[in-house]
Amino acid sequence: MLWIATLVAATLLAIERVGYVLIWRNPAGFTQLCSRGWIFGKRDPVEALYRLFLVFKCIQIGVFVAWWSLFDGRFPPLPSAPMHWFVIGSGLFVIGQILNFGVFWRLGKTGVFYGNRLGHQLPWVTGFPFSVVPHPQYVGTMISIWGIFLIMRYPHPDWIVVPLVQTLYLLLAMRLER
């Protein structure tokens, strides 16, 4: 069952990464689709990408909850980490979210959602969180996912599977979105 669940989770989680990479590598094509109103009826590509982001987050959260419920045997799933791992996982989650919110704070919606690729002139930002780590949004996302899976599934043997898949996807995206 673990292999089937992993394949399904990996496939569903890939939708987000593939979508972002395609848009990053072909912003003109995405802008053209938006000009026709084909992405949620939105003609502004930044707004359309924001809407896609919301869909991608729903898929991601759905995969996480389904994973936890499947292997926990109950819905809603409950945290299983011993207290010290719960604290460590919570700390990781908070650090990851600080990086993510820092990116949104610095870049704004237009900057986060590829505005520089979609026809907007944006200043280059070097302050926090960009001064702390390269790709702070991806790093923040990875740290958050590891933290939440520590909280929800550690020490069960499946706890590491989805964070590894997400880490692989995010590392590939960092490379492909250069």
Which phi-psi region, left, alpha or beta, contains residue 109 (left: φ > 0; alpha: ψ -120 to 50)?
alpha
Q: Look at residue 41 in the predicted model and tell me its pLDDT.
A: 82
DSSP of 132-171, one letter per residue?
TSSSHHHHHHHHHHHHHHHHHHTTSGGGGHHHHHHHHHHH
Q: What is the mean pLDDT of the chain?
A: 95
Strand, helix or coil for residue 45 = helix
Q: Look at residue 64 in the predicted model and tell me its pLDDT.
A: 97
CA dihedral sign of residues 1, 70, 155, 136: positive
pLDDT in tens, 90-123: 999 999 999 999 999 999 999 999 999 999 999 9
pLDDT higher than threshold 90 for residue 46: yes
Q: Show the domain range for 25.
A: 2-176
pTM of the full structure: 0.93
The count of domains in the chain is 1
Could you tell me the pLDDT band of residue 152, with boundaries at 50, 70 and 90? very high
pLDDT in tens, 55-64: 999 999 999 9
pLDDT higher than threshold 80 for residue 8: yes
Could you tell me the pLDDT band of residue 178, with boundaries at 50, 70 and 90? confident
